[in-house]
A and B are shown apart, each in its own frame.
Chain A
Amino acid sequence: MEHNKESMVKKVNLPLTEKTEQNLKAGDNLLLSGVLYVARDAAHKRMVEALDRGEPLPFDIEGQTLYYMGPSPSPPGRVIGSAGPTTSARLDGYTPRLLAAGLKAMIGKGVRSLEVREAMKKHKAVYLAAVGGAGALISQTIIKSEVVAYPELGPEAVLKLEVKDFPATVINDIHGGDLYVEGKAKYRK
């Protein structure tokens, strides 16, 4: 992990190592580089159904990062269309199962359920937010995109992305920090 002191942004490689994860604090601004997987509602449902049947997941989720996103169509010559985060709360019902299966980090937007926050503590996982509605900017940090599972789901298929300097902010760290709760408390009048 490099620190860029001028802008107070931490450069972080994905997948996260245990050591990097230890150093993440709620409120840190990050630039992520490396691999992350994209899945939203339909793919989550399929993955949890696979776990229920005792089947392996279509990709090795151990230590990996999930990004909740459904891109707009790629115009010709582009890797991907607009690609900002979707509301994480819709995935809350599926998340504890995936955390138990080894998921280490999630990127989305908006507050998680108490259950998910508890499961994150138990499995030492972090929740990051990307700026909602910044899909055009985020798309420029995605250098490769490929479908790795459930192609029949079309725009909801699981994607593997390679990103360079993808901007994200730590919401829930592994030390109990919660930016949504602390930020609101700090500026409330």
Chain B
Amino acid sequence: MRLIMAADITEAVSDLFKQANCELGEDVLAALDKARREEESPLGRAAIDTILENARIAATEKIPLCQDCGAAVVFLEIGQDVLVVKGGLYAAVNEGVRRAYNEGYLRRSMVYHPFSHRTNTGDNTPAVIHTDIVPGNKLKISVLPKGGGAENMAKLAMLLPASGRKGVADFVVKAVAEAWSNPCPPVIVGVGIGGTAEKAMTMAKHALLRKVGEPSPDAENADLEQEILDKVNNLGIGPMGYGGRITALAVHVESFPAHITALPVAVNLQCHSARHRETVI
């Protein structure tokens, strides 16, 4: 049994959200650099130049990359031998979010009730927390401040099993085509296939935590990622929808066994400001 202080979790979560909101990861910057080299459209290249220059300014001036500092999505992998002491786990995570958004001059964007009481909670809590129990005595915390423009373009389909791989690819490409200029392309396309409805969407979101462009460890999924990426980049939408070759930086697929009657597919889009950070306590 290993004891982890709730206060240490709060501090880690706070640091991760502050950093994620002001500094793009190396993987994202590298993917944008590559996109800049490959983009054929002059307006598309100019948009990527602006995005890269924005990243430089945000990191140096310590101001948020985007005014939409997101809903605070947190993935926790908790070793089963961990005991959190001196405070509740979720309370500690929420306190970290509160601290980051207040101290870091990050925009608070959460409202109390989705349709009846749209008043700001004032501190960007509650976080959306996903928890996995895993072997070991460590706690892995991944944070993903998720902006509204891209999240609002999420799609779920319960396909017929007979639709097969083609049905999956077609649905994902259509979701990106319909999102068009709205999710701030070039996007990262998170795809969850299989499980149940909620499992598929959680996988689609979790896939966004992967280093941008790193292929799935599963060969079949990796192959599907490439096929969808090629098709998406033939849509012509381009950076910010101004027309161009690079509509997506990457496609990340996760899959899970499915019920005999079902082929769920979920799409969760990530804007080019792909802010995510992780740490292990």
Contact = CB atoms under 8 A, between A and B. Distances in A.
Q: Do A and B bind each other?
A: yes
Interface stretch (A11-19, A94-102, A157-165, A178-186): A178-186
Contacts of A189: 234, 236
B241 A184 contact: yes
8 contacts: A70-B107, A81-B63, A109-B184, A133-B147, A135-B68, A183-B43, A184-B241, A187-B41
Given A73-B107, A137-B54, A188 B235 contact: yes
A65 interface: no
Interface of B: 40-41, 43, 46-47, 50-51, 53-55, 57-58, 61-69, 105-107, 120, 147-149, 152, 180-182, 184, 234-238, 240-245, 271-273
Interface stretch (A46-54, A55-63, A83-91, A113-121): A83-91
B64 A29 contact: no
B236 A183 contact: yes
A183 B54 contact: no
Interface of A: 27, 29, 69-75, 78, 81-84, 86-87, 89, 109-111, 129, 131-140, 154-155, 167, 169, 179-180, 182-189
Contacts of B67: 69-72, 81-84, 86, 135
A110 to B, nearest CB: 4
Contact of B53 (A109, A137, A187): A137
Contacts of A84: 66-68
A110 B43 CA distance: 15
Contacts of B241: 110-111, 129, 179-180, 183-184
Given A184-B236, A185-B236, A82 B243 contact: no
B147 to A, nearest CB: 8
A137 B107 contact: no
Contacts of B46: 29
A131 B64 contact: no
Nearest to B273: A133
Contacts of A74: 105
A104 to B, nearest CB: 22
Given A183-B238, A187-B41, A72 B63 contact: yes
Contact of A109 (B54, B106, B181): B181
A71 B64 CA distance: 10
Contacts of B273: 133
Nearest to B40: A187
Contacts of B57: 136-137, 140
A87 B148 contact: yes
A87 B70 CA distance: 14
A184 B237 contact: yes
B121 to A, nearest CB: 13
Given A87-B152, A132-B240, A82 B184 contact: no
Nearest to A75: B105
Contact of A111 (B40, B65, B147, B180): B180
A184 B243 contact: yes
Most buried by A among B105, B120, B240, B243: B240
A179 B66 contact: no
Contact of B43 (A70, A109, A134, A169): A169
Contacts of B61: 136
Given A71-B107, A72-B107, A111-B182, A133 B272 contact: yes
